[in-house]
Amino acid sequence: MKFNKNILPGKTGMRFMPLVLLRVLPLAVLILFVVWFGARWASMQTVRDEVSKSLEAYTVQSAETISANLGKLEENITLLASNDLIINSLVDMTARMNYLPTFFRSLQLPGSRSAAITLMDYRGRIIVSNTQNSAEGFEEAPWLTKIMQGGDLFHFSGSGLMIVKPVFYSGMAEGAIVVQYDEPSVAALLKIESREFEYAVLHNTKGALASSFSDLSRTISQSDTGESGWLFFKKEIPGYDYLTLIYAIEKKTAYSQLFSLERFLIIAMIVDLAALVLGIALSAQTASRPLSVFINTIQKVRESGKFSEMPLMGSREFQELAQAFNTYGIELKIVQNELLSKAIESGRTQLSAMVLHNIGNAVTPVQVTLDTMEKKNSGKAVEYLSRCYEALEKNKNDLGNYITEHPKGVEIFKYMGELIRHMKETGDECGRQFVKIRSAIDYISEILTFQQNYAAGTDVAKESLDLNRILDDAFKMQGSALDRRGIRVEKSFSKQMPLMAFEKNKLMQVIVNFIKNSYEAVDMLQNSPAERKITVKTFLQDNFAGFEITDTGIGIEPSKIDSLFEFGKSEKGSSGMGLYYCRMFIEKNSGTLEITSPGREKGATVRAVFSLKEAADEKNKK
């Protein structure tokens, strides 16, 4: 596990808050923005719906009012045209000028007082008017024929509004009442009292006839394309489909209260963010000390490689975290010890098998020699050999303790001595056999002493060793296994190798494991005798020393090499603890272990390299 060197115990509180802010604030701002945007959108939709309903209601009501007013205006003009005084004036040409001018000046229609009211005859000539500006008649008017045929006229022009109603006498149209409104009068006629909304009455060809906002018609036209900030509703005036009434309100006016609320929400968001930052700062201040201790403890474990208990401090969460860390550390230590014990036990088992095998190889020539000597005194020799064999057979699983501690086990050497002395009496012909027996006994004693020291389970102090000598001895111990398989060994030892500090027994176990893996790999390939070879060499380069063991065996696929060092992984179906334990031992002694292979059926090389400088530094620390 790698630690960030920037997160040091003294800087934890200082760096903890920016880290949290960097991770929390963007999300908090995003959430607040989403909430604000959602609330704003929902509020605007609500306001828009309410304003739209109001606009629709006002527009419909006002359109009906305008329609009613225009209808009433037409009705009043029709009533004026049917007035008896007006009808009689068409035939009473002599006396009509005595009363008509006064009558017309007294007339007043809805809208502006400046409406021009004129009475004309059937030819379009003006009889009388309430204004002095009606000097011209209507003889050339395009609508004269229509009126004289009993029709009427309601027409908006560029100059205003003209309403014409025929005056009937004896069922015939003998004249007409002409009412004219100029543009200001039309605007006054169509004016709507509205304090909340703007309005406009539009003609489908003439444009705006009346408006509370001079540029409203153009603005509403832009609103149809979504380019203006207005809410509006349109309604045709009933009975006058060429007229359209529009009620409108600017969005900024409609949303004015919402904008005030929006400013309040923005201020509230800023206050929330400030409270969040303050809360994080206080939390960082509170959590910095236990977090600093937590990081310091982990750093200590990382540097020392030894578990350190985490103190219980801070909030309940930190205490639970520390408790979990301590529990995990204890469990991990137990598991590590169990794994190491299994690896050591596996090594012991392999070494014990090797020791028993070598003892067997040493005992075999002894038995042959004793058979020869038995010709002279077979009874006594058989008796001694039987005792030795029975004792060894019964205690073969604990030979070291048995020979050194058990009374009967100690007697084995006495039996052996008596056997040797007995054999000396046989004469000179047994001299050569005697030397072999002595050599075999010394060899067995050396092996048993080694096995006894390792099996005792105590930590053996490191001693300065000649790596060349250890490798040579290891191959000698495996000599019979190599000879039986027809595998030759080529040695290339550097003469400049320094003495290096190791636990002798464990180093021997590691090297024996490498040799055993090599000759088993050669067995698996089953190549020709000339190709069955294991090469061992030592080397010294700069501040590094080590050894290589290369075989011509089955080899390894490069993709599977890394998995060989995993606990429980094996290419041969064994426990898979050998290489795992070997790597642990080599790394513990300032070394690295590497296995290489060109590929399947191309052999493999195991290379152990030890740093002399790191080993010296480690020794100086102790």
CA distance 584 to 581: 5
User: How many whole angstroms from its chain centre is CA 105?
Assistant: 90
Q: Looking at per-residue confidence, does 354 or 595 come out higher?
A: 595
Q: Looking at per-residue confidence, does 341 or 179 come out higher?
A: 179
CA distance 186 to 155: 12
* Residue 302 within a domain: no
Q: Looking at per-residue confidence, does 449 or 165 come out higher?
A: 165
Q: State the total domains in the chain.
A: 3
Residue 111: beta bridge partners? none
In whole numbers, what is the pLDDT of the chain averaged over residues? 78
Q: Could you tell me if 480 and 437 lie in one domain? A: no
Query: Residue 567: is it exposed, middle or buried by C-beta count within 10 angstroms (0-12/13-18/19+)?
Result: middle
The highest-confidence range among 124-138, 225-239, 383-397, 520-534, by mean pLDDT, is 520-534
| Domain finish residue from 188, 216, 232 | 188
* Residue 87 within a domain: yes
| Domain finish residue from 149, 166, 188 | 188
Judge whether residue 546 has pLDDT over 70.
yes
Q: Could you tell me if 422 and 530 lie in one domain? A: no
Name the token pair of 494: 């550097």
364: domain range?
339-455
Q: Could you tell me if 470 and 600 lie in one domain? A: yes
Which of 411, 443, 441, 437 lies closest to 424 in space, CA to CA? Answer: 437
Q: Give the domain CATH number at 165.
A: 3.30.450.20
Report the first-to-last Cα separation within the chain, whole angstroms. 26
* Residue 279 within a domain: no
Which pLDDT score, from 0 to 100, does residue 237 have? 92
Which pLDDT score, from 0 to 100, does residue 152 have? 93
User: How many whole angstroms from its chain centre is CA 12?
Assistant: 24
| Domain finish residue from 188, 216, 250 | 188
Q: Could you tell me if 374 and 495 lie in one domain? A: no
Q: Could you tell me if 512 and 451 lie in one domain? A: no
Q: Could you tell me if 483 and 514 lie in one domain? A: yes
CA distance 449 to 351: 13
Q: Could you tell me if 386 and 493 lie in one domain? A: no
Residues near 151 by Cβ (< 8 Å), separated by ≥ 6?
143, 166
Residues near 444 by Cβ (< 8 Å), separated by ≥ 6?
359, 362, 363
Q: Could you tell me if 442 and 473 lie in one domain? A: no
Residue with tokens 């501690």, as numbered in its chain: 405
Over residues 19-46, the mean pLDDT reads 79
Judge whether residue 423 has pLDDT over 80.
no
Which pLDDT score, from 0 to 100, does residue 437 have? 62
Over residues 584-609, the mean pLDDT reads 92
Q: Could you tell me if 532 and 578 lie in one domain? A: yes
CB crowding 367-376: b at 16 or more within 10 Å, else e? eebbeebbee
Residue 119 host element (H or E):
strand 116-121
> pLDDT digits over 4-14, tens only?
444 444 444 45
